[in-house]
Amino acid sequence: MQFNLLVLYEFALLIQKFILVTKKMVRSFETPSILSSAQKDMTGESLNSHLSLWGDGMSEKGSREQIRQQNRDYILSTLRKEKLIARIELGQITGLSPATVTSITADLLELGLIVEHHEIANKEPKGRGRPRCMLGLQPNVACIVSVKLSVDHIQFLLCNFAGQITQQKIVNFSSRKATREHFTQLLIEELQDFLDENPIEAKHLAEIGLAVQGVVDTQKGTIVWSPALTDRDIDIVRTIKTHFGVNCLLSNDTNMIAEALYRANPNKYGENFVVIYMDQGVGAGFIIDGQLYTGQTGAAAEFGHSLHIPDGALCSCGRRGCLEAYMGDYAIIRQYNDMPVDSAPQQVGVEWKDIEEIIQAARAGNEKAKQVFSNLGKTLGIGITRLIALLDIKKIYLTGRTTSAYDLMQDSLVNSLDESLVSSLDNELSIEVLQGDESLIERGIVAKAMQRLDKKLLAKR
């Protein structure tokens, strides 16, 4: 009898250990909304049924629901990318089991979020074909508006639930001359006009995503500071929500670039990377463990405004010595034209054609122009060194118009990294230039807004 009790006790301990291991596995699924291939294989029926055998009530139920939500999210984002797709292909792309795909698509059909399209595939010469049932998103379920604020421009995009951009508009205005009141009024009026011009879509407006150059406070919903505007601490989210009665998400523009890259291809860009944007200003976006990292108030990754040289050159943010004050477009003009380092960035008067002329001069052998880009490469290298030392990141992507001069900066960048990096840190470091895609910011705004919209619609289930 005593022996039997001991065996039972040992057996109970073994079961407890197994449950703990299972719970640990479940926790590892909580973070990414786009799953790696190894995870995908385990998110279907097998893990769910396993949990139902060994689970202990609400916590496993909650985890199962979370996995199901992630799978629905993944199916919706795949449909948005593929437009029309058969269930079997949906399973192949997502790695989900046929039973999971069938169950989730049945839910989505019932909610009216997707529709079936019957088409004839594999047409044979005699005119007989095999009917195929394709799935597609119902475009009119909801729409979102993307708003991008940059110096002297506001861009509006209207995007339907299927992820198609149906309308766009660019408003030009002298942004730095606009007061807080003028800017807010203009934004509201122009957005209202944009919606009035598209009344059918506007009826289904569900989300407004707003990306701004500079520093934002996502908790308060304020533009803390932007090079596009003179006034600070602009309470924009509350104003938009009050006027349009829908959710509004405020972000920094470079964060939206990181979001766009990760959402477009997580396998390619990876779960951990930094994207550095070099254009009028300089910014960075961090993807850490498959999530956009924005810090407590959304102001993390203000790479361009981290201190480079104490009491150094005047920056567009009003402080001295920021990295941007040595890398932004106004810094290039200031150096090339021997202007004082405390010339106000807003007064330097930069046009992109001026930067292009300096790039061409450098390529033609102009020593002064070459030195400007060599200095820029060195500063960038110092900045990247700090990021790597802090975050242990191995992948850096560079984007923005200034990267078109990457060939002119590359040597000094590499030297700068060689001098500054501890040798153990530069192993496997990759720096890649992403050129030719001007739409990354708005693609990120749309991806983020769609993610929130999907969550909201699926919560009804």
Name the site residues for Zn ion (rule: CB under 5 A). Answer: 305, 315, 317, 319, 322
Shortest distance in whole angstroms from residue 345 CB to Zn ion? 9
CB of 275 to Zn ion, least distance (A): 19
Q: Are 409 and 373 in contact (CB under 8 A)?
A: yes
One-character DSSP codes across 262-275: HHH-HHHH-SSEEE
CB of 284 to Zn ion, least distance (A): 13
Q: How far is the CB of 397 from Zn ion (least distance, A)?
A: 22
Q: What are phi and psi of 227, to 5 degrees?
A: -65, -15
By C-beta, is 33 or 226 nearer to Zn ion?
A: 226
Classify 111 as helix, strand or coil.
Answer: coil
Read off the tokens for 342. Answer: 């405390």
| Tokens found for residue 299 | 């102001």
- Rounded to the nearest whole angstrom, what is the least distance from the CB of residue 168 to Zn ion in the complex? 31
Of 290 and 312, which CB lies nearer to Zn ion in the complex structure? 312
Q: Which residues pair with 114 in a beta bridge?
A: 137
Going 438 to 443 to 448 to 453, the CA torsion angle's sign is positive
Residue 233 or 367 having the CB closest to Zn ion: 233
Return the C-alpha torsion angle 274, 278, 279, 281, nearest 10.
80
Q: Work out how close the CB of 257 gets to Zn ion at its nearest, in angstroms, rounded to a whole number.
A: 19
Decide whether 211 or 317 has the Cβ nearer to Zn ion. 317
Angle between helices 367-391 and 352-363 (to 10 degrees): 110
* Closer by beta carbon to Zn ion, 243 or else 320: 320
Q: Please say which residue, 345 or 444, places its beta carbon nearer to Zn ion.
A: 345
Question: With 0-12 CB in 10 A as exposed, 13-18 as middle and 19+ as buried, what is 21?
Answer: exposed
The phi, psi pair for 278, rounded to 5°, reads -120, 110
CA 18 to chain centroid: 38
Q: How far is the CB of 315 from Zn ion (least distance, A)?
A: 3
Nearer to Zn ion, 251 or 316 (CB): 316
- Cα separation of 118 and 123, whole Å? 14
